[in-house]
Amino acid sequence: MPTKAKKSTAKAVPVHQPEPEIIRIRILHESEIVIPIEGVTPLIMNEFGHKSKEQMLESMQGKKTNTKERPPKDPLEDYKHARIMLPKPVTIGGIKCTDGIKASAFKAATVTAARAFEQMTLVLAKTQIFVIGTAPGDPDLIPIIGEPNMRTDLVRNANGSPDLRTRAEYKEWGAVLHVKYQPDVMDAESVLALVQQGGRGGVGEWRAAAPKSYSGSYGKYEINMKKVKENGLQG
């Protein structure tokens, strides 16, 4: 006859499940620093004028414009449209500023500069660096510290035909950048390094970092370190 299995007298040991780990994160605070810059090479501006927008809209709507009906070029008018006028002139360092440049131009230059640093990524630069417009009446603009001049260049159109292009040039120029960032992610020195490197690519027309330009060298700038040391990086 088969023997009966003995009953186990061992007591069941309760299994203690580990407590779930609680994820704790904190809000990353934002700081603002002020960075004065000076132009290294002349700045060329060529704002997309109202007339050009109308012509593009007509073309998109299928309206054909007879070339013979187009008015002759007016260099002075083209020069005026190439500038971005501030809604209200401002005075910076005793200099009256009438023109501006989009703050996004400096952000683009700074983000592009991230490629020069191994520990930086474009995504990190895009989400960390925000250049703030400071022009009264237009939060997208930064006043240009400098006097505009009319400049005419011989250029090639998309079809290869030669053309004369009149634009605004600032031979000596500068600006004051207000940059927001998160000090828990990167320190102020890193922001300065990115802005300084971005100055090598430049802003405006015919800049070194322009996608379709291999000879551009305009719109380059650098940080005025003397003013930074004197005034600090206060927001």
Asked, for residue 175, whether it belongs to a domain, the answer is yes
Q: Is residue 74 part of a domain?
A: yes
Asked if the model's pLDDT at residue 231 lies above 60, the reply is yes
- pLDDT for the residue 66: 57
Given a cut of 70, whether residue 71 has pLDDT beyond it is no
Q: Is residue 214 part of a domain?
A: yes
* Per-residue pLDDT tens digits for 194-218: 999 999 999 999 999 888 777 789 9
pLDDT at 171 over 60: yes
Tell whether 210 is covered by a domain.
yes
How many structural domains are present in the chain?
A: 1
Residue with structure tokens 């090479």?
A: 41
Contact criterion met (CB below 8 Å) for 101 and 84: yes
More confident residue, 1 or 120: 120
Q: Which has more pLDDT, 235 or 32?
A: 32
Higher per-residue pLDDT: 130 or 70: 130
* Domain-embedded: residue 2: no
Tens-place pLDDT, residues 112-139: 999 999 999 999 999 999 999 999 999 9
Q: For residue 7, tell me if it sits in a domain.
A: no
18 lies in some domain:
no
What phi, psi does 132 have (nearest 5°)? -95, 135
The answer as to whether 75 is a domain residue is yes
Q: pLDDT tens digit string along 37-66?
A: 999 999 999 986 545 555 565 566 666 655
Model confidence at 162, in pLDDT bands (50, 70, 90)? confident
Sheet holding 221-223, edge to edge: 130-132, 174-181, 31-39, 221-223
User: Could you list the residue range(s) of the whole structural domain that residue 75 is in?
Assistant: 31-231
